[in-house]
Amino acid sequence: MSTHHTHARSTLPVAGEDHARLTIDLSALADNWRAMARRSGAARTAAVLKADAYGIGLEPAARTFHLAGARDFFVATPAEGAALRATLPDVRIYVLSGMWAGSERLFFEFDLVPVIASEEQLAVFMAAVSDGRDHPCVLHVDTGMSRLGLRVEDALALAGDVARPASFSPIMLLSHLACADDPSHPLNRQQLQRFRTAVDAFDGIDATLANSAGIFLGEDYHFTLTRPGISLYGGAAVNDVPNPMKPVVTAEARILQVREAKAGESVSYGATTVFSRGTRIAVAAVGYADGYMRALSGSGVPLRKTNIPGASGVLHGRTVPLIGRVTMDLTHFDVTDLPEGSVRAGDFIELFGRSMPIEDVARAGGTIDYELLTSLGSRYERRYEAVKK
């Protein structure tokens, strides 16, 4: 297995600094895509590459998915689509935010497919193709998310409009599930029924409804294309069940100092943790500027007065609790219960990854693994473990 380093997202960190690092397992990334493709049955399986591929790096993620077999990709913005086109010249790229006035050139120049989300966007698209330009689009239908998309009744009216220009012929219908992470939620079936109504009205075009969690809902939700996102990156798609995906990202931080505190002393801002015993503290070089968010401090954060435990890390194979408040650049861990002398400055503590599930860390911060991944700062040294041959 080979490993290479990149600092593509920033001029930082400089070589040798290595204050915090991300190890990104591209074999696990490829395996996760193949697993979701198998779960998708007869449907084609896309890959969602929004937000710099959920924080892990657009180019290496895109190449890995393409090597695994993906040929359809979703991004949020045309700028993301343009960056992806430079990496993958021969795939289909869908832009979820749609087309607006001033963005048309990017769509045509980089062969991006807009996901049309409103009557206003439809007007912009129709004006852009009025010169006879043949360009594909997808129609977004809102079936219950109340975010983007035409209402179902408006989509049905459009489908039945005999005056509809022949040049408006979407290649696919798209909708998004609001509650798929809760398989028993009644809105899932309601959205499915509404989407089927719209798909039937457009007669014979492709359709995509299932995100990662939607794929786990089963074949009824798969239609002709599925579009997994968080599951590909090792995140948990469905609530309260074991996560079957392989961890992709392991985040670690260097221990800068190991220090002793006496009973009665406190640590970090606000003195929210006061020690009841003599305590050994490992001070790690990571903080909320690196996306290791302040909320991971647990009940030590003001306005969170309930007894919420903070996050933990893994050091020398042992779980150690976060103590005090996470600060901009530094976080403290209690290593008292590890053998004396076993923790030294220069050691690395795992924040999440192979030994500490990312969903557990996110839960400790009152958030979701999506937010942890997409908040990763630019100061990590990124190490990509190449796909095993």
147 is in an annotated binding site: yes
Considering Cα of 103, then 224, then 204, then 156, what sign does the dihedral take? negative
Whole-angstrom CA distances from 258 to 37, 280, 283, 285, 343 are: 46, 7, 6, 12, 7
Residues 6+ apart with CB under 8 A from 222: 40, 41, 42, 43, 209, 210, 215
Q: Is 305 noted as a catalytic residue in this protein?
A: no
* Residue of 50, 288, 292, 380 marked active site: 50
> In degrees rounded to 5, what are phi and psi of residue 141?
-115, 125
Q: Is 269 noted as a catalytic residue in this protein?
A: yes
Instruction: Please state, in angstroms and rounded to a whole number, the distance separating the CA atoms of residues 78 and 325.
Output: 38
- Could you tell me how far CA 242 lies from the centroid of its own chain? 18
* Residue of 246, 269, 370, 380 marked active site: 269
Whole-angstrom CA distances from 387 to 25, 61, 99, 252, 379 are: 8, 11, 35, 21, 24
Among residues 58, 54, 96, the alpha carbon closest in space to that of 77 is found at 96
Instruction: Please state, in angstroms and rounded to a whole number, the distance separating the CA atoms of residues 343 and 136.
Output: 58
Whole-angstrom CA distances from 186 to 4, 165, 228 are: 46, 37, 22
328 is in an annotated binding site: yes
Pairing of strands 172-174, 138-142: parallel
Q: Enumerate the active-site residues.
A: 50, 269
- The annotated binding site is made up of 147, 328
- The annotated binding site for substrate is made up of 147, 328
